[in-house]
């Protein structure tokens, strides 16, 4: 789903990377895909001339992760009370938006 959510770099006090291997951080797996995950691929050939017939290079695929991050922020906003002072408090979602970060933003884990 992108570089902005499930992987988080964790550093030890001595500066060494603690999340250096699959055994030390959560790798996205097929079980992480939502039950209702529907996509549609463009059925036609690419009409534009571009390098090697590529559909996207560089920045566009890199920045698509922002849409996942923003969708999480919108979901958090929808899950919060819609009235009173809580509705106006900015959503503090840390990046990467790990499960723990989402729960903190929802107020279900201590900050």
- Tell me how long the chain is: 111
Establish whether the linkage from the previous residue to 98 is cis, with ω within 30° of 0.
no
| Alpha-carbon span 71 to 37, nearest angstrom | 14
N- to C-terminal Cα distance for the chain?
A: 24
From the number of C-beta atoms within 10 Å of its C-beta (0-12, 13-18, 19+), residue 3 rates as middle
Which one of the listed residues 35, 44, 48, 59 is annotated catalytic? 59
Question: CA separation (Å) from 43 to 2, 5, 16, 87, 105?
Answer: 24, 29, 47, 42, 39
Catalytic site residue 59?
Answer: yes
User: Which residues does the annotation mark as catalytic?
Assistant: 59
């Amino acid at each position: 789903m992108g570089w902005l959510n499930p992987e988080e770099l964790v550093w030890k006090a001595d500066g060494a990377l603690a999340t250096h291997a699959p055994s030390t951080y959560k790798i996205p797996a097929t079980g992480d895909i939502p039950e209702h995950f529907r996509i549609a691929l463009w059925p036609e050939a690419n009409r534009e001339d571009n390098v090697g017939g590529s559909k996207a290079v560089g920045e566009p695929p890199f920045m698509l992760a922002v849409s996942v991050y923003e969708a999480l922020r919108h979901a958090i906003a929808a899950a919060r009370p819609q009235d009173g002072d809580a509705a106006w408090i900015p959503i503090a979602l840390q990046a990467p938006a790990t499960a723990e970060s989402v729960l903190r933003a929802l107020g279900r884990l201590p900050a």
